[in-house]
Amino acid sequence: MRNPLKDTTLELLRRGYHFMDWQRAESGDPGAPARVRLRLLGTPALLVRGEAGVRLFYDTSAVKREGALPPLISGGLFGSGSVHGLDDEEHRARKALFIRAAMDDAAVAALLRDAEAEWNSHLDEVWLPGRTGSVYDAAVEVYGRSILRWAGVETDHETATRIAHDEAAIVDGFGVVGPAFLRSKWKRKTCDAWFTDVIRRARAGEIEPRPSSAFDLVLQHRDADGSALDDHTAAVELQNVIRPTIAVARYAAFLALAFHRHPEWRTRVAEEVAERGTPIDGEVAFAVADEVRRYYPFVPLLPGVARRDLKHEGAQVAEGERILIDVYGTTHDERHWDQPDAFDPTRFLGTGEMFAGYFIPQGGGTAETGHRCPGEKITAGLLALTAGVLAGLRATLPRQDLTYRMGRMPTMPRGGVVLSDVSRR
């Protein structure tokens, strides 16, 4: 049985996505499937999972975000002064910017059409005929160029590609001890400087963003106190529209791995695309995309801070203590999912499970009133589109290491899943 007074931060860094299951097993607590006490980052905390845990964690009257993440991590990943560390009216006012930017159906549809065209260009110019390439690298570039253009940030092809890879590096190293973390911090500074310059040039009248684009909305935004965002914060929040979209490339690599291991689903998506005449918005493709988001690891857990003394599933939480939602564990919770360790997109075909309170790869609650990611439509749409694109290819997987390290956060298949001898079906 684990010593409840022993800090487990190093175990989290060592075990990664397996940390939460290890913590539950070591606790000896019969209530551990729902919640377990631990000590993390030097202070007591409660780790929760499942639908009840989601309700607690995303109850904004009970849990706040300010001070939940150490600045070294939150500043590197989200940027200083970002929406992710705000609460209450400040959060609602800032969150409205992202809802306007990322949740409009017509705007999302336009992004998907642009991304489809970008995929076709990438295939023609880089992969065809018969060349070799990494799915992850391709998706970083396709998503990056598309989201920059869609957001109203106009730049040349080479610069857009570089920015895409820099933003991807920020995500790749934020939870890693070692060189990748240092690279993430360096790329954070590089990207902040580049986007701050773009913001200043726009405010000086040197460039004019497309009306109603994310860039334009960031410039026009007013916080709860009526003030405009300063140049640095505007640059941070513009990146918080762009970078999460580029990060979907990690899911794209897992999607390619899933098609390799479950070729029957690649066939079903290919048949759907052939029948519909488009890789966009296919029901089967969306089911595959949602199962990729559920099954494969991305976000391990998220922290909040108790606003007051609380009780959850028999466990006491004092005001100011951290509450951690086990994201990966909730999407693999046997209390909610039938055979959670099996890859099975049928669980999302006509079942409504994508709306379940325990499906939280992009957070829980609602985007409008809580902390759920407003870019979830974009994430699911891009991944479903990518399923359609990849299903339409003939390719071989050369000998490579397709494993991914569960001790690394975030993780993905080593090499990004390399395809060779690529051609269209």
Residue-wise DSSP of 340-376: TTS--GGGGSSS-GGGSTT--TT-SS-TTTSSS-TTH
Q: pLDDT (tens digit, 0 to 9) for every residue of the chain, 425 residues total?
A: 556 568 999 999 999 999 999 999 888 777 678 899 999 989 999 999 999 999 999 999 999 988 888 776 766 677 777 787 777 888 888 889 989 999 899 999 999 999 999 999 999 999 988 889 999 999 999 999 999 999 999 999 999 999 999 999 999 998 888 899 899 999 999 999 999 999 999 999 999 999 999 999 999 999 999 999 999 999 999 999 999 999 999 999 999 999 999 999 999 999 999 999 999 999 999 999 999 999 999 999 999 999 999 999 989 999 999 999 999 999 999 999 999 999 999 999 998 888 889 999 998 888 877 778 899 999 999 999 999 999 999 999 999 999 999 999 999 999 999 999 999 98
* The token pair that represents 80 in the structure block: 């200083």
Domain covering 9-424 assigned CATH 1.10.630.10 in the classification: yes
Nearest to 356 by CA among 376, 370, 336: 336
Give Cβ neighbours of residue 234 (< 8 Å, ≥ 6 apart).
196, 199, 218, 219, 221, 228
Work out whether the CA dihedral 98, 101, 104, 110 comes out positive or negative: negative
Bridge partner list, 38: 45
Angle at 250 between CA 370 and CA 271, to 5 degrees: 100
> What pLDDT, on the 0 to 100 scale, is given for residue 72?
63
Give the CA-trace dihedral at 328, 101, 149, 232, to 10 degrees.
-90
Write phi, then psi, for 289 (nearest 5 degrees).
-60, -45
**DSSP result, 369-393:** TSSS-TTHHHHHHHHHHHHHHHHTE
CA pair distance 305, 64, nearest whole angstrom: 5
Helices (H), 204-277: 214-220, 231-261, 263-276
User: Rounded to whole angstroms, how far apart are CA atoms 76 and 183?
Assistant: 11
Task: Report the C-alpha gap between 195 and 190 in whole angstroms.
Answer: 9
* pLDDT score for 5: 63
Sequence ranges of the domains in the chain:
9-424
Pairing status of strand 322-326 against strand 315-317: unpaired
Dist CA 57 CA 357 (whole Å): 12
Round the CA-based radius of gyration of the chain to a whole number and report it.
Answer: 21
pTM (predicted TM-score): 0.95
pLDDT at 174: 84
Position 230 scores a pLDDT of: 95
Q: What is the C-alpha to C-alpha distance for residues 388 and 274, in angstroms, rounded to an integer?
A: 10
Supply 413's token pair: 């298949």
> Counting Cβ atoms within 10 Å, is residue 353 exposed (0-12), middle (13-18) or buried (19+)?
middle
| pLDDT at site 3 | 60
Query: Cα(272)–Cα(287) distance, rounded to whole angstroms?
Result: 12
